[in-house]
A and B are shown apart, each in its own frame.
Chain A
Amino acid sequence: MIRLIILPFILLSLSALAVEERSLGKSPNGLLMGDAYTALADDDFTLFYNPALLARHKGFSLYPLNPSITATNIIKDPDRFSNTGTTTTSFADAAFNFPMHIGIDYSPGFKMGKFGMSAMVNYNTNFNLQNQVTPVLDIDHRFDRGFIAGYAHPLYGSFTTGKGGEHLALGLSVKYIEREAIYNSYNLTGISLLDALSQGSADAILNSLGKVNGSGWGADAGIDYVKSNGSQTFSLGLAILDIYTVMHTKDNPDNLEVQDQPMRINLGSAWKATMGAGFDLTVSADIKHLEQQMELMRRVHLGVEVGISPALSIMAGVNAIDNYSYGLKLNTGLIKIYAGFYGTEIGEKLGQQESDRFVIYFSLFHFGFDPLG
């Protein structure tokens, strides 16, 4: 039986796909658990992973301030730029195949019963210099603003985070995205880039590089199954993100298209054991991008979280075979902090190219209450 279940994945692993996931928001907890978070995301990032997890929520929760920063982990390869000399060539030699990333994410939101809403301000810029013969600078820049609102309904049973139970729930969400994007490759010594860099203002440079704006509405759907006997909790989730998200490009001189927001289908499961006194253990596994043909192991994300006390947890994970993540969470009630490192696959084929990054997240003044007890 197990072999029959695995067979489709093996068959579909014969061909590869594609570069980095175009997400609208990522939980730092998820990132530090190998992004195996589809069945666990009952936090402020629920709507970015699986709207069905809203069904686990009761009462009112507010997440007013929760910014996170992600950037290239330059300390993993500290010698790369230390002996580059003073020439452009030596610096570029060091920069080849060293993807640079900066991301800022701010997703304030609230949950009220099984309804949730999050704003999103998501800035992501990636640079990747490749090809020593004719250096090509890949620029992937997105600045998304908008909101997601969703609702989940238990199809049967009843479950509440922290209290246990069992349910199977269906969730739906709608979203609106305004996007500013540059997504192109430029010859480093070609006319396009040299011309752009000779422009006077930063805005003129971005416009010359092909900045386009667009907006669109979209929708997500998900299923959440969870069962808990109090000490152990098993959950399984299936999320179809951007099941129908259409971006419309605003007029621009070069008739460029704004980056679309492709559909993603993720299956995730998790098991959590609570041992009392704040000590708990969670393991999770996601199989992502069921909608695309790609190598099997590129889909697989695994994570673990060990709660040492109510205030401190350590997390670790792996995805696409050898992209490791690790970090910790410090929760003092009004202030919650995540910090750690994670790796993500960005090449065309499994193992081709990885981007090592760090993430720092602060959540201030998060609170929740349940008037019905």
Chain B
Amino acid sequence: MNGDHILSWIVYTPAAAGLVTLLLPRTAERAIKAFAFLASLVPFALALQAARAFDPARGDYQLVESAPWIRTATYTIDHHLGIDGISLLLVLLTAFLTPLAVLSSWNSVTRALKPYMASLLFLETGMIGVFCALDLVLFYVFWEVMLIPMYFLIGIWGGENRVYAAIKFVLYTMAGSLLMLVAILYLFFANGATTFDLPRLAHNLSSGALRLTSAEETWLFLAFLLAFAIKVPLFPLHTWLPDAHVEAPTAGSVILAGVLLKMGTYGMLRFCLPLFPAASLASAPYLCILAVIGIIYGALVAMVQPDLKKLVAYSSVSHMGLVVLGIFVFTTQGLQGATLQMLNHGLSTGALFLLVGMIYERRHTRAIAEFGGLAHGSPVLAAVFLVVTLSSIGLPGLNGFVGEILVLAGAFRRSPLYAALAASGMILGAVYMLRMYQRVFLGRADRPENAHMGDIGLREKLLLLPILAMMVWIGVYSTTFVRPMDASLELVRQRILHAPSPAGGYRVDQQERRTLPPQDRTDGR
């Protein structure tokens, strides 16, 4: 294997495996499942290797590879891949969750297994491609192309109302991303029609070689932001999410919550902040307010959901609001917390959807009122569910706590009010999650089908074990994960803080502009 092209291998192995899957005979279901699972382990192994080759002390792009893709008189588009500390974690998360998603579909997918597995694998290529692409057009291609497998996953293997949910998902995403495409093209022509290369555009913008008027910067920022805010989803653009989550098959929900939503916050960190720092500063107070509204609103709506999946979906709105808040307070802890929280949310919400899927497979319902006392019949399931619930509400010792406390600390530095409101969202989170747990698992099992639901089997235990291990690892020793992202986040922060402070935005004092000493950067861990 050529070490220089490791990112290409990570990106394209799943798609190649997806094509092979389509060629397997339709009746060989075991072979299809086994092949898809083994194939999805390859990018994970490669991603681990990439992580070993990655130098955490550097904040720039590493493992970079670039090759000409489209060369015409007008356009120069490169196949340019590279990762920094932020994308490394998300690549790892994607490569980690995909095999679990494949494994979770072992018995639940009964028809058209072959295209299902192929869709999951194609989806993985799109997602990892988004996190690795350093050319704006290439990024856009991965960003959009991912819609097709997700559309089919929801639309074919989804629940009752799947067609509506699938088309809503596609239309929402397309509306945002096509405007982003216009912004990408505009940026290209503003820069003298020379390059779509992200590092070079960022460099030209920061060095002043490419000057945007304040109006231009604001509009471009908004065009990018809209695409990402829909994906996150930021309040009030979240309405596609509950539909998509409820209708999607379990693996679809896991991927959707685990990875797809992160593409939005990743896009903010990767594009909005470094390319348009002044506009980011100017709009940050508004975005923080929307994020806080999302945190509280998501939690309040989750409280009254009668459906397990819908509850988890709205909890995502709440948790992702916290990530956005962490990004747009522009403090070291906020950015660290936001990035870590992306990882945490991927793990805990992914696990919640897996668990809900397991319950659904046994009981064919997700209505909370139908359950009660499941812990008697399925103690292992109940125990795992409890750990995941606690991780989701941020119990110390588990992963959620570290991310939340970092974001709250970061937000407090900017504005104690945001921190207070966001913290109240956390409390509400504990309320609805624990109440849900109580109503589903505790009490007497009044209904016989609840008492005899059956516990999880070996495959399911093996499926959940890695996630639980990760939760504990991050909760106990988050340094492993915070260290690689540190330098990259600091670059983003410096870029923001050296931008001219606009009217209405944050006031940044000189002291904050200094690079903070390491010990200050690592507090709160």
A and B held together in a complex = no
